[in-house]
Amino acid sequence: MNVLEVRGLTKKFGGLVAVDDVSFDLGQGEFLALIGPNGAGKTTCFNMVNGYLRPDRGTVRLNGQDLIGVRPRKIVRMGVGRTFQITRTFLSMTVIENIQMALISHHRRIFDMLSRATRLYRDEAEALLRLVSMEDQAGRASSELAYGDLKRLELAVALAPDPTLLLMDEPTAGMAPSERVALMELTAKIVAERGVSVLFTEHDMDVVFAHAHRILVLNRGGLIAEGTGEEIRGNPLVQEVYLGGGTVFGQAEAGAESEADHA
């Protein structure tokens, strides 16, 4: 059974069709990449799946349950974890407290006014830190962490509620090349071990081809290709999108001109 089923997803901003009739499935334990040039609609697509944007048309189903119109925080509770393009952590807390907060919220104890937050779910939090190899940094303030460590911390936070689906928006953005490889290897390992399904967007093609089980290519809001790394590499449309200046589908001259105007 598919973890995520997206059908006919469409979103317009004024006259601009940001995402146009996009459909795809994400299988159990699959590592699915969503790629495309700038402005292709990746982030819009993402934000409709995680509930931050309401689509104009289309459906999103998670394990058979409809996600359209569900608030982001409810979607989290239904088993969707997420990491952000720019890391979002609680900077005034330590590394382990960040994870404990995710666990506290998951176990619905966030309104507890008498327990000591730092003493709750400590073992579970430590186990998650070990998973991302950060157990030696548990007590550090997260504001002191290097960027690559923040990304790993965010991954551990996202995994805390034991999600079935992980949404990662540009997980390696802003990282050094060697760190990128390490982070994605770690993510791939966790995906394999825990059976989590991952949908991620990414600009770094090395990362995508090295790890994604399957790749979706978006351009101008539409899905133009879908397949394994090999298939995508060999796809002439994709090559044109990435190498040929963004003009595809033999679009009208007007479209090409407005693109040139933007450049």
Partner 1 sequence: MGFYVAQLLTGLANASSLFLIACGLSIIFGVTRIVNFAHGSFYMVGAYLAYSIVALFPDSILGFWGGVIAAALIVGLLGLIVEMTILRRIYHAPELFQLVATFGVLLIIQDMTLAIWGAADKLGPRAPGLDSAVRIMGEPIPEYDLALILIGPAVLAGIWLVFHRTRWGVLVRAATQDREMVGALGVNQAWLFSAAFVLGAALAGLGGAIQIPREAVSLQMDLSVIGDAFVVVVIGGMGSVSGAFVAAVLISVLNAFAILVFPQISIVLPFVVMAVVLIVRPYGLFGKEGSGHGAPTEPEQPLRLLSSRATLVLMALVFALAASPVVVSDFASILLVDVMVATLFAVSLHFMMGLGGMVSFGHAAYFGVGAYGAAMASNYLGLPMMPAMIVGPLAAAAAALFFGWFCVRLSGVYLAMLTLAAAQILWGVTFQSQAYTGGDDGILGIWPAAWASSDQAYFYVAFVLCIGGIWFLRRVAHSPFGYGLRGIRDSDVRAEAIGMDVKFHQWMGFALAGTMAGVAGVVFAFSKGSVFPDVLGIAQSVDGLIMVLLGGIHALAGPILGAGVFVLIEDWVSRLDYWRFIFGMIILGVVLLAPDGVAGGVDRLLRALGLRREGQA
**Interacting residues toward partner 1 by CB under 8 A:** 72-74, 76-77, 82, 84, 88-94, 97, 101-102, 104-106, 109-118, 120, 138-141, 143-144, 157-158, 160-161
Nearer to partner 1, 21 or 135 (CB): 135
Q: How far is the CB of 81 from partner 1 (least distance, A)?
A: 8
Half-sphere exposure of 20 (CA within 13 A, CB side): 14
Half-sphere exposure of 92 (CA within 13 A, CB side): 0
Nearer to partner 1, 25 or 124 (CB): 124
* Alpha carbons 102 and 129: distance in angstroms, whole number: 13
Q: How far is the CB of 77 from partner 1 (least distance, A)?
A: 5
Nearer to partner 1, 23 or 105 (CB): 105
> Which is it for strands 214-219 and 197-201: parallel, antiparallel or unpaired?
unpaired
CA dihedral 125, 102, 32, 34 (to 10 degrees): -140
Q: How far is the CB of 105 from partner 1 (least distance, A)?
A: 5
* Alpha carbons 95 and 139: distance in angstroms, whole number: 6
Q: How far is the CB of 144 from partner 1 (least distance, A)?
A: 6
Nearer to partner 1, 84 or 242 (CB): 84
Neighbours of 14 (CB within 10 A): 6
Half-sphere exposure of 149 (CA within 13 A, CB side): 19
Nearer to partner 1, 92 or 178 (CB): 92
Q: How far is the CB of 101 from partner 1 (least distance, A)?
A: 6
Instruction: Point out which residues pair with 218 in neighbouring strands.
Output: 223
